[in-house]
Amino acid sequence: MKQLVIIVFLFVTGNLFAQTPCDYSTNVNDSIGTYKSTREYMISEKNFAGNSSYIFYSLALADGTPILSVQIIQKSKGFLKANCFDKNSKLFLQLHNGKIVTLLHIDQENCGTMLRDDKDFDNRVMVGQFMFMKGSIEDLKSSPISLMRIKYLTETEDYVIKKEFQSELNNEVYQPENYFITNLRCIE
């Protein structure tokens, strides 16, 4: 009887702590090289006075180099201020353990693309790719993130990272503070 209880206990705890499989949007391995990228994951959502902004992360591994792709979508019927990424742009992540991790933007200027939808909203979509500095992946795997600071070409903007939120956009529940703890294994 003890053996049966132990087997059931191990089976239940194994299922509780099992990692979810990685969900890739791209996974290519050919003569040019290898590239795989995880699906976009919402990190931040702001809706106020008819203005909306969304920030999505995805992790990529390009020929052995880990990259964080940050997609920022702004939506408004009014004026949308343009923030740009350039070679001096950085992404700072403050962890719960007090450490600050810095990611460097690749040397490519990007101010986004403006699109108008059928409801007369202006939408700006901007994507930036950031490289991890040596040792930063280990720090990100060991502690949740609490704050994100993005240094653009002309200004700096801070975002408080929530433990969990339900998106007004798609009604899904996101847990952004544990994004790296959960997903970095997908590009190792």
With b for 16 or more beta-carbon neighbours within 10 A and e for fewer, the 111-143 pattern comes to: ebeeeeeeeebebbebbbbbebeeebbebbeeb
Between 105 and 116, the more confident residue is 105
d(CA 109, CA 82): 13
* Nearest residue to 35 via CA among 44, 21, 25: 25
- For residue 11, what pLDDT is reported? 45
Return all residues near 31 (Cβ < 8 A) that are at least 6 apart.
none
d(CA 61, CA 127): 16
Residues 86-114 pLDDT 10s? 999 999 999 999 999 999 999 788 899 98
Between 118 and 165, the more confident residue is 165
- For residue 188, what pLDDT is reported? 82
Residues 127 and 135 sit within 8 Å (Cβ to Cβ): no
- For residue 167, what pLDDT is reported? 93
Domain boundaries, the chain: 24-187
Q: What is the mean pLDDT of residues 1-28?
A: 58
d(CA 158, CA 152): 11
Give the mean pLDDT of the chain.
Answer: 87
Residues 104 and 86 sit within 8 Å (Cβ to Cβ): no
DSSP letter, residue 178: G
